[in-house]
Amino acid sequence: MLDTLEEIKRNLQKEIKGISTLKGAEQLKIKYLGRNGGINDLMKLIPTLPVEKRAAFGQKINALKVEITDTIEGFIKKLSSEAIPKIKSEIFDITLPGKRPSIGKRHPLTQTIDDIKEVFARLGFDVAYGPEVELEHYNFEALNIPPDHPSRTDFDTFYIRDDVLLRSQTSTVQIRIMEKQKPPIRIIAPGRVYRPDTVDARHSFMFHQVEGLLVDEGVSFADLKGVLNQFIKTYFGQNIQVRFRPSFFPFTEPSAEIDISCSLCGGKGCNVCSYSGWVEILGAGMVDPNVFKAVHYDIEKYTGFAFGMGVERITMLKYGICDIRLFYENDIRFLSQF
Ligand code: DAH
Protein backbone atom coordinates (compact mmCIF):
# COMPACT_ATOMS: atom_id res chain seq x y z
CA MET A 1 0.00 0.00 0.00
CA LEU A 2 2.65 2.48 1.02
CA ASP A 3 4.48 1.61 -2.17
CA THR A 4 1.39 2.67 -4.11
CA LEU A 5 1.50 6.10 -2.42
CA GLU A 6 5.12 6.60 -3.37
CA GLU A 7 4.38 5.52 -6.91
CA ILE A 8 1.57 8.07 -7.21
CA LYS A 9 3.99 10.83 -6.18
CA ARG A 10 6.58 9.72 -8.73
CA ASN A 11 3.97 9.50 -11.49
CA LEU A 12 2.77 12.98 -10.72
CA GLN A 13 6.29 14.41 -10.99
CA LYS A 14 6.77 12.61 -14.31
CA GLU A 15 3.46 13.84 -15.72
CA ILE A 16 4.09 17.47 -14.67
CA LYS A 17 7.23 17.51 -16.74
CA GLY A 18 5.21 16.77 -19.88
CA ILE A 19 2.70 19.61 -19.33
CA SER A 20 3.14 23.18 -20.55
CA THR A 21 -0.39 24.60 -20.65
CA LEU A 22 -2.82 25.71 -17.97
CA LYS A 23 -5.45 23.46 -19.48
CA GLY A 24 -3.13 20.46 -19.12
CA ALA A 25 -2.47 21.39 -15.47
CA GLU A 26 -6.21 21.62 -14.71
CA GLN A 27 -6.73 18.16 -16.23
CA LEU A 28 -3.93 16.83 -14.05
CA LYS A 29 -5.65 18.28 -10.98
CA ILE A 30 -8.87 16.46 -11.88
CA LYS A 31 -7.00 13.23 -12.50
CA TYR A 32 -5.41 13.23 -9.04
CA LEU A 33 -7.75 15.23 -6.84
CA GLY A 34 -11.14 15.02 -8.59
CA ARG A 35 -14.14 13.01 -7.42
CA ASN A 36 -13.07 10.02 -9.50
CA GLY A 37 -9.39 10.88 -9.08
CA GLY A 38 -6.50 8.82 -7.67
CA ILE A 39 -6.72 10.11 -4.10
CA ASN A 40 -10.42 9.35 -3.80
CA ASP A 41 -9.78 5.86 -5.14
CA LEU A 42 -7.36 5.35 -2.24
CA MET A 43 -9.91 6.70 0.26
CA LYS A 44 -12.36 4.06 -0.97
CA LEU A 45 -9.86 1.40 0.10
CA ILE A 46 -9.97 2.43 3.80
CA PRO A 47 -13.09 0.43 4.79
CA THR A 48 -11.48 -2.70 3.29
CA LEU A 49 -8.52 -2.53 5.71
CA PRO A 50 -8.31 -4.09 9.17
CA VAL A 51 -9.68 -1.59 11.70
CA GLU A 52 -6.33 -0.94 13.42
CA LYS A 53 -4.65 0.10 10.18
CA ARG A 54 -7.33 2.40 8.94
CA ALA A 55 -6.39 5.52 10.94
CA ALA A 56 -2.71 5.42 9.97
CA PHE A 57 -3.48 4.80 6.33
CA GLY A 58 -6.04 7.60 6.35
CA GLN A 59 -3.44 10.01 7.70
CA LYS A 60 -0.97 9.01 5.00
CA ILE A 61 -3.54 9.60 2.30
CA ASN A 62 -4.40 13.02 3.75
CA ALA A 63 -0.74 13.95 3.86
CA LEU A 64 -0.39 12.80 0.25
CA LYS A 65 -3.46 14.81 -0.74
CA VAL A 66 -1.97 17.96 0.81
CA GLU A 67 1.32 17.32 -0.92
CA ILE A 68 -0.27 16.68 -4.32
CA THR A 69 -2.53 19.73 -3.94
CA ASP A 70 0.49 21.92 -3.11
CA THR A 71 2.45 20.52 -6.05
CA ILE A 72 -0.31 20.97 -8.59
CA GLU A 73 -1.42 24.42 -7.31
CA GLY A 74 2.20 25.57 -7.30
CA PHE A 75 2.59 24.30 -10.83
CA ILE A 76 -0.60 26.12 -11.97
CA LYS A 77 0.61 29.36 -10.36
CA LYS A 78 3.94 29.06 -12.11
CA LEU A 79 2.30 28.49 -15.50
CA SER A 80 -0.09 31.44 -15.07
CA SER A 81 2.68 33.85 -14.12
CA GLU A 82 4.60 32.83 -17.24
CA ALA A 83 1.46 33.26 -19.37
CA ILE A 84 0.59 36.83 -18.24
CA PRO A 85 3.41 38.66 -20.03
CA LYS A 86 2.66 36.61 -23.15
CA ILE A 87 -1.03 37.53 -23.04
CA LYS A 88 -0.14 41.19 -22.43
CA SER A 89 2.11 41.29 -25.47
CA GLU A 90 -0.61 39.73 -27.58
CA ILE A 91 -3.32 42.17 -26.54
CA PHE A 92 -4.57 44.19 -29.52
CA ASP A 93 -5.04 47.86 -28.61
CA ILE A 94 -7.99 48.94 -30.75
CA THR A 95 -7.45 52.60 -29.81
CA LEU A 96 -4.10 52.74 -31.63
CA PRO A 97 -4.23 54.60 -34.96
CA GLY A 98 -4.15 52.18 -37.91
CA LYS A 99 -1.31 51.81 -40.36
CA ARG A 100 -2.29 53.59 -43.57
CA PRO A 101 -1.59 51.47 -46.64
CA SER A 102 0.47 53.54 -49.05
CA ILE A 103 -1.61 54.03 -52.16
CA GLY A 104 -0.71 55.78 -55.39
CA LYS A 105 -1.45 59.42 -56.17
CA ARG A 106 -2.03 61.48 -59.24
CA HIS A 107 1.20 62.96 -60.58
CA PRO A 108 1.44 66.70 -59.73
CA LEU A 109 1.25 67.59 -63.45
CA THR A 110 -1.90 65.49 -63.81
CA GLN A 111 -3.33 67.25 -60.76
CA THR A 112 -2.60 70.65 -62.31
CA ILE A 113 -4.20 69.64 -65.61
CA ASP A 114 -7.24 68.33 -63.70
CA ASP A 115 -7.45 71.61 -61.73
CA ILE A 116 -7.23 73.65 -64.95
CA LYS A 117 -9.90 71.47 -66.58
CA GLU A 118 -12.17 71.99 -63.59
CA VAL A 119 -11.89 75.80 -63.61
CA PHE A 120 -12.56 75.97 -67.35
CA ALA A 121 -15.38 73.41 -67.14
CA ARG A 122 -17.18 75.88 -64.88
CA LEU A 123 -16.73 78.50 -67.60
CA GLY A 124 -18.31 76.15 -70.14
CA PHE A 125 -15.16 74.84 -71.86
CA ASP A 126 -14.99 71.28 -73.23
CA VAL A 127 -11.76 69.27 -73.31
CA ALA A 128 -10.25 68.35 -76.68
CA TYR A 129 -7.19 66.31 -77.64
CA GLY A 130 -5.00 66.07 -80.70
CA PRO A 131 -2.11 63.88 -81.90
CA GLU A 132 1.46 64.33 -80.64
CA VAL A 133 2.89 63.21 -83.98
CA GLU A 134 1.58 65.97 -86.18
CA LEU A 135 1.64 67.36 -89.69
CA GLU A 136 3.63 70.52 -90.30
CA HIS A 137 0.41 72.03 -91.59
CA TYR A 138 -1.24 71.98 -88.14
CA ASN A 139 1.84 72.97 -86.17
CA PHE A 140 2.86 75.93 -88.39
CA GLU A 141 1.08 76.51 -91.71
CA ALA A 142 -2.52 76.85 -90.55
CA LEU A 143 -1.38 78.82 -87.50
CA ASN A 144 -0.04 81.57 -89.76
CA ILE A 145 3.58 80.84 -88.90
CA PRO A 146 5.59 81.93 -91.97
CA PRO A 147 7.85 79.43 -93.83
CA ASP A 148 11.04 81.20 -92.69
CA HIS A 149 10.04 81.46 -89.01
CA PRO A 150 12.93 80.35 -86.73
CA SER A 151 10.66 78.02 -84.71
CA ARG A 152 10.31 75.87 -87.85
CA THR A 153 14.00 74.92 -87.93
CA ASP A 154 15.16 71.66 -86.46
CA PHE A 155 16.79 73.64 -83.66
CA ASP A 156 13.28 74.23 -82.34
CA THR A 157 11.24 71.31 -83.64
CA PHE A 158 11.74 67.53 -83.77
CA TYR A 159 11.12 66.42 -87.36
CA ILE A 160 10.18 62.84 -88.19
CA ARG A 161 9.93 63.55 -91.92
CA ASP A 162 9.90 66.81 -93.90
CA ASP A 163 6.22 67.40 -93.23
CA VAL A 164 5.76 65.27 -90.08
CA LEU A 165 6.96 66.33 -86.65
CA LEU A 166 6.43 66.03 -82.90
CA ARG A 167 4.12 68.94 -82.13
CA SER A 168 5.94 71.82 -80.45
CA GLN A 169 2.72 73.42 -79.17
CA THR A 170 -0.85 72.37 -78.39
CA SER A 171 -2.13 75.24 -80.59
CA THR A 172 -2.37 72.52 -83.27
CA VAL A 173 -5.61 71.34 -81.62
CA GLN A 174 -7.26 74.74 -82.37
CA ILE A 175 -6.99 73.99 -86.07
CA ARG A 176 -8.09 70.37 -85.81
CA ILE A 177 -11.21 71.36 -83.83
CA MET A 178 -12.14 74.30 -86.07
CA GLU A 179 -11.78 72.09 -89.15
CA LYS A 180 -14.37 69.74 -87.69
CA GLN A 181 -16.77 72.08 -85.90
CA LYS A 182 -18.61 75.31 -86.57
CA PRO A 183 -18.73 78.06 -83.91
CA PRO A 184 -19.58 78.48 -81.10
CA ILE A 185 -16.41 76.76 -79.90
CA ARG A 186 -15.14 76.72 -76.37
CA ILE A 187 -12.36 74.21 -75.70
CA ILE A 188 -9.18 73.64 -73.78
CA ALA A 189 -6.61 71.16 -75.10
CA PRO A 190 -4.08 69.72 -72.64
CA GLY A 191 -1.22 67.53 -73.77
CA ARG A 192 2.47 66.87 -74.32
CA VAL A 193 4.67 68.96 -76.58
CA TYR A 194 8.27 68.43 -77.70
CA ARG A 195 11.19 70.78 -78.38
CA PRO A 196 14.89 69.99 -78.83
CA ASP A 197 15.97 71.95 -75.74
CA THR A 198 18.95 70.97 -73.65
CA VAL A 199 17.68 69.69 -70.31
CA ASP A 200 18.35 71.94 -67.32
CA ALA A 201 16.44 73.22 -64.29
CA ARG A 202 13.99 75.13 -66.50
CA HIS A 203 13.99 73.20 -69.79
CA SER A 204 12.96 69.77 -70.93
CA PHE A 205 12.67 68.23 -74.42
CA MET A 206 9.12 67.22 -73.52
CA PHE A 207 6.68 69.22 -71.44
CA HIS A 208 2.95 69.91 -71.15
CA GLN A 209 0.77 72.74 -72.35
CA VAL A 210 -2.89 73.64 -72.15
CA GLU A 211 -4.29 75.47 -75.14
CA GLY A 212 -7.58 77.35 -75.02
CA LEU A 213 -9.87 78.56 -77.78
CA LEU A 214 -13.17 80.41 -77.79
CA VAL A 215 -14.86 81.41 -81.04
CA ASP A 216 -18.29 82.94 -81.51
CA GLU A 217 -20.00 86.02 -82.89
CA GLY A 218 -19.05 89.24 -81.12
CA VAL A 219 -16.19 87.91 -78.95
CA SER A 220 -13.90 90.74 -77.81
CA PHE A 221 -10.63 91.28 -75.99
CA ALA A 222 -12.70 92.08 -72.89
CA ASP A 223 -13.99 88.47 -72.95
CA LEU A 224 -10.43 87.20 -73.13
CA LYS A 225 -9.43 89.34 -70.14
CA GLY A 226 -12.50 88.26 -68.18
CA VAL A 227 -11.96 84.54 -68.74
CA LEU A 228 -8.21 84.57 -68.04
CA ASN A 229 -8.61 86.78 -64.96
CA GLN A 230 -11.22 84.39 -63.64
CA PHE A 231 -8.96 81.39 -64.28
CA ILE A 232 -5.90 82.96 -62.64
CA LYS A 233 -7.77 84.10 -59.52
CA THR A 234 -9.45 80.74 -59.09
CA TYR A 235 -6.26 78.74 -59.61
CA PHE A 236 -3.72 80.94 -57.79
CA GLY A 237 -5.99 82.73 -55.31
CA GLN A 238 -7.97 85.96 -55.18
CA ASN A 239 -5.06 88.07 -53.95
CA ILE A 240 -2.88 87.46 -56.98
CA GLN A 241 -2.17 90.51 -59.21
CA VAL A 242 -2.58 90.10 -62.99
CA ARG A 243 -1.14 92.23 -65.78
CA PHE A 244 -1.51 92.04 -69.57
CA ARG A 245 1.54 93.03 -71.67
CA PRO A 246 1.40 93.60 -75.44
CA SER A 247 3.24 90.83 -77.27
CA PHE A 248 3.37 89.05 -80.61
CA PHE A 249 2.28 85.61 -81.80
CA PRO A 250 1.75 84.77 -85.50
CA PHE A 251 -1.66 83.20 -84.78
CA THR A 252 -3.16 86.06 -82.74
CA GLU A 253 -3.64 89.77 -83.33
CA PRO A 254 -3.50 91.64 -81.05
CA SER A 255 -1.46 89.39 -78.75
CA ALA A 256 -0.61 89.61 -75.09
CA GLU A 257 1.52 87.95 -72.50
CA ILE A 258 -0.02 87.68 -69.07
CA ASP A 259 2.02 88.03 -65.92
CA ILE A 260 1.02 87.35 -62.33
CA SER A 261 2.60 88.78 -59.20
CA CYS A 262 5.26 86.29 -58.17
CA SER A 263 3.50 83.75 -55.97
CA LEU A 264 6.79 82.77 -54.29
CA CYS A 265 7.93 86.18 -53.00
CA GLY A 266 4.49 87.82 -53.07
CA GLY A 267 5.78 90.41 -55.59
CA LYS A 268 8.70 91.61 -53.47
CA GLY A 269 11.33 90.18 -55.85
CA CYS A 270 13.24 86.88 -55.82
CA ASN A 271 15.39 84.82 -58.18
CA VAL A 272 12.34 83.04 -59.64
CA CYS A 273 10.86 86.35 -60.88
CA SER A 274 14.32 87.84 -61.65
CA TYR A 275 13.65 90.41 -58.91
CA SER A 276 10.87 91.99 -60.98
CA GLY A 277 8.00 90.76 -58.79
CA TRP A 278 6.18 89.42 -61.91
CA VAL A 279 6.23 86.09 -63.73
CA GLU A 280 4.79 85.31 -67.16
CA ILE A 281 2.28 82.46 -67.21
CA LEU A 282 0.22 82.76 -70.38
CA GLY A 283 0.37 83.75 -74.02
CA ALA A 284 -2.92 84.89 -75.54
CA GLY A 285 -4.63 87.02 -78.12
CA MET A 286 -7.50 87.46 -80.56
CA VAL A 287 -7.42 84.74 -83.22
CA ASP A 288 -5.71 86.12 -86.34
CA PRO A 289 -8.07 86.30 -89.37
CA ASN A 290 -5.48 84.29 -91.34
CA VAL A 291 -6.06 81.36 -88.98
CA PHE A 292 -9.82 81.59 -89.54
CA LYS A 293 -9.18 81.66 -93.28
CA ALA A 294 -7.14 78.43 -93.00
CA VAL A 295 -10.22 76.67 -91.55
CA HIS A 296 -12.70 78.47 -93.85
CA TYR A 297 -14.47 80.44 -91.14
CA ASP A 298 -16.27 83.63 -92.11
CA ILE A 299 -13.97 86.36 -90.74
CA GLU A 300 -16.73 88.96 -91.00
CA LYS A 301 -18.99 86.91 -88.78
CA TYR A 302 -16.72 85.32 -86.17
CA THR A 303 -14.10 86.51 -83.74
CA GLY A 304 -12.39 84.58 -81.00
CA PHE A 305 -9.54 84.41 -78.58
CA ALA A 306 -6.89 81.81 -77.88
CA PHE A 307 -4.41 81.26 -75.10
CA GLY A 308 -1.68 78.83 -74.14
CA MET A 309 0.13 77.99 -70.92
CA GLY A 310 2.87 75.67 -69.74
CA VAL A 311 1.67 73.13 -67.17
CA GLU A 312 5.13 72.58 -65.62
CA ARG A 313 5.65 76.31 -65.25
CA ILE A 314 2.31 76.85 -63.54
CA THR A 315 2.86 73.90 -61.20
CA MET A 316 6.37 75.14 -60.33
CA LEU A 317 5.04 78.60 -59.50
CA LYS A 318 2.14 77.31 -57.46
CA TYR A 319 4.21 74.95 -55.30
CA GLY A 320 7.62 76.69 -55.37
CA ILE A 321 9.37 73.88 -57.28
CA CYS A 322 12.73 75.07 -58.59
CA ASP A 323 13.76 72.26 -60.96
CA ILE A 324 11.59 70.95 -63.83
CA ARG A 325 13.50 67.64 -63.85
CA LEU A 326 11.84 66.65 -60.56
CA PHE A 327 8.61 66.02 -62.51
CA TYR A 328 10.17 63.28 -64.62
CA GLU A 329 12.37 61.43 -62.15
CA ASN A 330 9.53 59.62 -60.38
CA ASP A 331 11.22 60.01 -57.01
CA ILE A 332 8.55 58.95 -54.54
CA ARG A 333 9.89 61.44 -51.94
CA PHE A 334 9.02 64.27 -54.33
CA LEU A 335 5.76 62.86 -55.68
CA SER A 336 4.29 61.95 -52.30
CA GLN A 337 4.31 65.62 -51.24
CA PHE A 338 1.40 66.51 -53.53
N1 DAH B 1 1.62 78.23 -78.58
C2 DAH B 1 2.30 79.22 -77.75
C3 DAH B 1 3.63 78.66 -77.24
O4 DAH B 1 3.85 77.49 -77.35
C5 DAH B 1 1.42 79.62 -76.60
C6 DAH B 1 0.30 80.46 -77.06
C7 DAH B 1 0.41 81.81 -77.11
C8 DAH B 1 -0.89 79.88 -77.45
C9 DAH B 1 -0.61 82.64 -77.54
C10 DAH B 1 -1.94 80.67 -77.89
C11 DAH B 1 -1.79 82.06 -77.93
O12 DAH B 1 -3.10 80.19 -78.28
O13 DAH B 1 -2.83 82.83 -78.36
O14 DAH B 1 4.40 79.41 -76.74
What is the pLDDT averaged over residues 228-248?
A: 95
pLDDT band, very low/low/confident/very high, at 1 (cuts 50, 70, 90): low
How far is the C-alpha of 335 from the C-alpha of 338, rounded, in Å? 6
Check residue 270 and give its pLDDT. 85
What is the pLDDT averaged over residues 239-250?
A: 96
- Which of the four CATH numbers 3.40.50.1980, 3.90.10.10, 3.30.930.10, 3.30.565.10 does domain 108-335 have? 3.30.930.10
> What residue spans of the chain are helical by DSSP H?
2-17, 22-33, 38-45, 51-90, 108-122, 136-139, 172-180, 221-236, 289-294, 311-319, 332-335
Q: Where exactly are the structural domains of the chain?
A: 2-90, 108-335
The rounded Å distance from CA 215 to ligand 1 centre is 16
Q: Is the CB of 284 under 6 A from ligand 1?
A: yes
Q: CB–CB of 260/276 below 8 Å? A: no
Could you read off the pLDDT of 261-278 as tens digits, one per residue? 987 888 888 888 889 999
What is the pLDDT averaged over residues 161-170?
A: 97
Nearest residue (by CA) to ligand 1, atom 8, is 308
Check residue 40 and give its pLDDT. 81
The rounded Å distance from CA 235 to ligand 1 centre is 19
Q: CB–CB of 65/37 below 8 Å? A: no
Could you read off the pLDDT of 166-225 as tens digits, one per residue? 999 999 999 999 999 999 999 999 999 999 999 999 899 999 999 999 999 999 999 999
Could you read off the pLDDT of 29-44 as tens digits, one per residue? 888 888 877 778 878 8
Check residue 311 and give its pLDDT. 97
Query: Across the chain, what does the average pLDDT equal?
Result: 91
List residues forming the annotated binding site for Mg(2+): 253
The rounded Å distance from CA 210 to ligand 1 centre is 9
Check residue 86 and give its pLDDT. 65
Could you read off the pLDDT of 265-318 as tens digits, one per residue? 888 888 888 899 999 999 999 999 999 999 999 999 999 999 999 999 999 999
Alpha-carbon distances, residue 196 vs 82, 153, 251 (angstroms): 73, 10, 22
Q: Is the CB of 308 under 6 A from ligand 1?
A: yes
- Quick count: other Cβ atoms within 10 Å of Cβ 275? 11
The rounded Å distance from CA 249 to ligand 1 centre is 7
Q: CB–CB of 170/210 below 8 Å? A: yes
What is the pLDDT averaged over residues 214-241?
A: 96
Residue 2 has pLDDT above 70, yes or no: no
Q: Is the CB of 72 under 6 A from ligand 1?
A: no
pLDDT band, very low/low/confident/very high, at 26 (cuts 50, 70, 90): confident
Could you read off the pLDDT of 66-122 as tens digits, one per residue? 888 888 888 888 877 776 666 666 777 888 888 888 888 899 999 999 999 999 999
How far is the C-alpha of 105 from the C-alpha of 334, rounded, in Å? 12
